[in-house]
Chain A
Amino acid sequence: MGLKESLHNFKEKNKDKKWLPAFSAIHTFLYLPNETTHNGTHIKAADDLKRTMNTVIMAMVPCLIFGMFNAGYQHNLQVGDVQAAAGSFFSSEFWTMANFMIGFWKILPLVIVSYGVGLGIEFIFAIIKGHEVEEGYLVTGMLVPLIVPVDIPLWMLAVAVIFGVVIGKEVFGGTGMNILNPALTIRAFLFFAYPTWMSGDKVWVEGAVERTNEIVAGANLDAISGETILGSLAQGKEAGYEVMDMFLGFIPGSVGETSTLLILLGGLFLIFAKIGSWRIMLSSALGAIVMGLIFNQVVDSGWITESSKFYGLMSTTWWHHLLIGGFAFGTVFMATDPVTASQTNKGKWIYGFLVGFISILIRVFNPAYPEGVMLAILLMNVFAPTIDHYVVQGNVKQRMKRLKAKTA
């Protein structure tokens, strides 16, 4: 008897034990469920929820690995151990083992905490409710470490994950029932609860906070810091990064969101696998471009002067907005979340467009919240069902009209 079979028999034997959901969770994770339907004709689709989620995770892995290199690179660059890797994706200053190891040991705990706490809660709820564990956390657990600053304390992450999974998802009924994207709920919680750890010029570079504390305590060290481009622009300062660096991702920022190139590749992979919606990705890029052009126009026609506090972000060239901050990551991996986005095709265009449009709007007009894409997606998550409702009703009305014209 093979391991698979004996596991199945074990499950059959303990059918009415309270802890069975926890066991079968592990069982389903390792193997496909053994239950099959017997009667009738069925269409077999290979892409169940688990496979869908795994595909999304695969699309994010390049971002994660790049993030590990980048975390170490930003640290070493500030300390002065490496030269700036300007312009070339395959720069030897960037892809070094030393860079990777710093990032690896910093980011691995984030991944472990995110998955450990999140799945722990899923298990507890599965046992309380007595249903099979839901796969919903697989993608969220991967997204969370990618959208936080590298230096975030682990206990804060754990608190936020508990909040996000319980309040953002379980109270609505679990996977597939949530209104808000759980990963963004987690980030929003961190952002409002612990703002000093989510913005400023220290948290984005590995070890900067620690070093500042050591200096305060009297150590003879040079302070290191790195502000995100959005943060600098919001304060009216020059960002000081080449456009190519923004695109390739050699900039400070949350762990996995810096490299627009790799996010683009991940996005293409999702579109190719028919999992991510190209309509949402394209329309939110369009929305951002439109808003960016409007702001550029405002600056060009001289309605706003350099003394204005909005000048720095408004005068940012429209297509730079697509490269900086978390816009690309949010659009590709979070706005497209099939549960919280609009379902209808027309609705997806409207939803995506507004995500992009509002992202840039928040970015520019609220310098205290430079990461507009997070708030924009959460806001549009709330409106997605309304958009769908009107799209469907509009369709119904049109058909009724057609029907009337035919019968008349």
Chain B
Amino acid sequence: MGLLSKKDAALIKDPLADNNPITIQVLGICSALAITAELEAAIVMSVSVLFVLGIGNVVISLMRNIIPSKIRIIVQLIVVAALVIIVDQVLKAFAYELSKTLSVFVGLIITNCIIMGRFEAFALGNGPWRSFLDGIGNSLGYGVILIIVAFFRELLGAGTLLGIKVLGDPIEKTGVYKYGYENNGFMLLAPMALIVVGIIIWVQRTRNKALIED
């Protein structure tokens, strides 16, 4: 990357692989379970978190020298809340159906541990540009896992991708359904999201032994 120095590029690259917020730090699991039954919802969620974390990190970083450390959590919460409300209103205005699917989970971005975690761990101690890159990197790392999980859950659970029937019609019995294939209803239930995340962690740690603890 010519644009970024090596150190800055690592801010984006690390969370995508060896320091992934979901699979390595195991943060933000609740939303990974709740909204990954459909690929579309997962993508919108990822974009929302990208927006909130990118801007939020910059805002916190700019204010880092004037926030009294005793009330910093409250300040952080206000910043996230403000950004989340913007996302929520935009979704309601331009994608009403989708905002209904996501329901409370947009609001619950506030409690997404990744966001508070990055504010605390990074934005409070670094400049705005580096904080911005860190926010983008972590939310991309979050988004990648979300989209992988949602891809498998929607494909195997409902036979669709982004609402398009890629495997054929289960009622008309076209495509693979002609040969007796059936959708796996378990994939649409929350436990299966946890298991898929677990399998991703398994694969990742098998490929990179350095990640295995003790």
Spell out A's residues near B (CB within 8 Å).
Answer: 153, 155-156, 159, 167, 171, 189, 192-197
Contact = CB atoms under 8 A, between A and B. Distances in A.
A197 B184 CA distance: 11
A156 B180 CA distance: 10
Interface stretch (B14-22, B98-106, B185-193): B185-193
A155 B187 contact: no
A192 B182 CA distance: 13
Interface string B36-50: 000000000000000
Interface of B: 180-182, 184-187, 189, 195, 198, 202
Contacts of B195: 167
A197 B182 CA distance: 10
A133 to B, nearest CB: 20
A156 B182 contact: yes
A195 B180 contact: no
Contacts of A159: 184
Contact of B184 (A153, A167, A171, A194): A194
A194 B182 contact: yes
A177 to B, nearest CB: 16
A171 B198 CA distance: 10
Contacts of A155: 180-181
B186 A193 contact: yes
A192 B186 contact: yes
Nearest to B181: A155
Contacts of A189: 186
Contacts of B186: 189, 192-193
B180 A194 contact: no
Please report whether the interface of chain B is mostly helix, strand, loop or mixed according to DSSP: helix
A193 B187 contact: yes
Residue among A155, A156, A193, A194 having the largest count of chain B Cβ atoms under 10 Å: A193
B202 A153 contact: no
B185 A195 contact: yes
B187 A153 contact: no
Nearest to B179: A155
A189 B189 CA distance: 11
22 contacts: A153-B180, A155-B180, A155-B181, A156-B182, A159-B184, A167-B195, A171-B198, A171-B202, A189-B186, A192-B185, A192-B186, A192-B189, A193-B184, A193-B185, A193-B186, A193-B187, A194-B182, A194-B184, A194-B185, A195-B185, A196-B182, A197-B182
A156 B184 CA distance: 9
Nearest to B156: A193
A408 B59 CA distance: 68
A155 B180 CA distance: 9
Residue of B180, B186, B198 contacting most chain A CB atoms (<10 Å): B186
B148 to A, nearest CB: 18
A192 B183 CA distance: 11
A166 to B, nearest CB: 9
Nearest to A194: B182
A212 to B, nearest CB: 14
Contacts of A194: 182, 184-185
Contacts of B185: 192-195
A167 B198 CA distance: 10
The 9 closest A-B pairs by CB, nearest first: A193-B186, A192-B186, A193-B184, A193-B185, A194-B182, A153-B180, A167-B195, A195-B185, A189-B186
Nearest to A193: B186
Residue of B180, B184, B189, B195 contacting most chain A CB atoms (<10 Å) = B184
Given A153-B180, A196-B182, 9 more contacts: A155-B181, A156-B182, A159-B184, A171-B198, A192-B185, A192-B189, A194-B182, A195-B185, A197-B182
B196 to A, nearest CB: 10
Nearest to B199: A167
Contacts of A193: 184-187
A113 to B, nearest CB: 14
